[in-house]
């Protein structure tokens, strides 16, 4: 009897550490086979405030996320909590904070900002007074836009360490050099940034953990429309990396259905243009099975106020109709948990 009680006590203690220990890795069972965890905080490209582009990514070997854009932050965490999207996260136990506060302060270790448009940064700005110290990573032009447009003591207080004084020094702003790999502080992840074609310079972030890859695309137009070849550079880099590494997932935007004219894309993709880009990517990859195994998460679908219009349904139909390579398309949904 005493021995059984002792065993139950030890088991409960182990479970407690798994749930609340600060650096306890998550246990990977049959449901969580994968390397990365992706939580969708915001999935749309406007105009639905409270559900704008933002994702959290971590490797399952540690409890620390990097934020991929931050159009929605606190509201996205709340929705994700309600959907049990953090069920594999060993949450840091801080009696001074709510669970939302614990995730924001203890588990989000920095922000990768693709570009300075408001639907990609609004959540970061609004949460900044209650956020804690951490880095903001971006291409030089992106960080300059953030300083000039938002952290300027007019639109918002300057919570960063550069720009218009006085500096509140909450956020360390780090310029990423295109196509040079950098470590993401507080995580086991590395990032390589690529410039994308958009009215305001945007970014693709290729994230690495050991021999695994994940790529997040900010807003981007197709190469055949933009005439800059920037997506081709990303595809070629990924195909080369995939000779020795596995690409686990891609987040990429599809803002409009195919009915949107090319001259009104404004640096965005439609299903036909994404399929065209993926066809080129597919042609470069030596191991075609890798392409079929990875998940392609569709983000930034524009919300519509028009009666009888369902952009998500239309885009999903058009992607499925043109999916000749058998790719795994998933439409991002706020509060969604994906293991990649």
**Residue in 190, 213, 195 with CA at minimum distance from that of residue 291:** 213
**In sequence order, what are the residues at sequence separation of 6 or more whose Cβ sits closer than 8 angstroms to the Cβ of residue 142?**
113, 114, 115, 116, 201, 203
Query: What pLDDT is recorded for position 27?
Result: 41
Tokens representing residue 216 in the block = 């997040």
pLDDT for residue 193: 99
Q: Which of 260, 215, 261, 252 is nearest to 329 (CA)?
A: 252
Q: What are phi and psi of 256, to 5 degrees?
A: -130, 160
Provide the phi-psi class of 102: left if phi over 0, else alpha when psi is between -120 and 50, else beta. alpha
Q: Write the pLDDT tens digit of every residue in 152-168.
A: 999 999 999 999 999 99
Q: What tens digit of pLDDT does each residue of 264-311 get?
A: 999 999 999 999 999 999 999 999 999 999 999 999 999 999 998 899
Calpha distance 202→200 (Å, rounded): 6
Residue 20, pLDDT > 80, answer no
Q: Is the separation of the CB atoms in 7 and 309 below 8 Å?
A: no
> What's the pLDDT at 253?
98
pLDDT tier at 226 (50, 70, 90 boundaries)? very high
Q: What pLDDT score does 46 carry?
A: 86
- Output the average pLDDT for the chain: 92
Cα–Cα nearest to 294, from 259, 321, 325: 325
Bridge-based pairing of strands 36-42 and 337-339 is antiparallel
Beta bridge partners, 205, equal: 193, 216
Task: Give the model's pLDDT for residue 104.
Answer: 98
Strand partners, 136: 111, 173
Give the integer Cα–Cα distance in Å for 232 and 222.
9
Please say whether the beta carbons of 77 and 41 come within 8 A.
yes
pLDDT tens-place string over residues 88-113: 999 999 999 999 999 999 999 999 99
Confidence of residue 3 (pLDDT cuts 50, 70, 90): very low
Would you state the pLDDT for residue 49? 93
Q: At 54, is the secondary structure helix, strand, or coil?
A: strand
């Amino acid at each position: 009897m005493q021995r059984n009680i002792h065993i139950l006590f030890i088991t409960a203690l182990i479970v407690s550490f798994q749930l609340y220990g600060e650096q306890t890795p998550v246990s990977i069972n049959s449901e969580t086979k994968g390397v990365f965890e992706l939580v969708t905080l915001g999935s749309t490209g406007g105009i639905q405030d409270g559900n704008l582009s933002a994702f959290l990514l971590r490797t399952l070997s540690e409890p620390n996320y990097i934020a991929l854009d931050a159009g929605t932050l606190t509201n996205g965490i709340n929705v994700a909590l309600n959907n049990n999207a953090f069920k594999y996260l060993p949450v840091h136990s801080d009696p001074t904070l709510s669970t939302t506060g614990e995730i924001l302060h203890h588990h989000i270790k920095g922000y990768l900002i693709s570009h300075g448009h408001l639907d990609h940064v609004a959540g970061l700005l609004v949460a900044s007074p209650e956020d804690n110290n951490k880095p903001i990573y971006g291409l030089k032009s992106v960080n300059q836009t953030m300083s000039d447009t938002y952290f300027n003591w007019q639109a918002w207080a300057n919570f960063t360490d550069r720009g218009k004084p006085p500096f509140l020094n909450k956020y360390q702003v780090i310029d990423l050099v295109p196509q040079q790999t950098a470590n993401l502080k507080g995580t086991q992840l590395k990032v390589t940034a690529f410039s994308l074609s958009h009215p305001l310079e945007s970014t693709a972030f290729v994230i690495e953990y050991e021999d695994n890859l994940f790529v997040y695309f900010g807003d981007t137009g197709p190469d055949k429309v933009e005439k800059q070849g920037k997506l081709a550079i990303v595809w070629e880099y990924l195909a080369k990396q995939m000779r020795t590494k596995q690409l686990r997932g891609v987040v990429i935007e599809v803002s409009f259905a195919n009915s949107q004219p090319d001259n009104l894309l404004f640096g965005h993709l439609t299903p036909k243009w994404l399929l065209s880009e993926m066809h080129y990517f597919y042609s470069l990859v030596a191991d075609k099975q890798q392409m079929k195994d990875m998940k392609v998460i569709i983000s930034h679908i524009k919300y519509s106020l028009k009666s009888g219009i369902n952009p998500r349904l239309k885009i999903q139909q058009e992607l499925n109709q043109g999916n000749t390579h058998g790719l795994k398309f998933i439409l991002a949904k706020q509060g969604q948990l994906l293991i990649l």
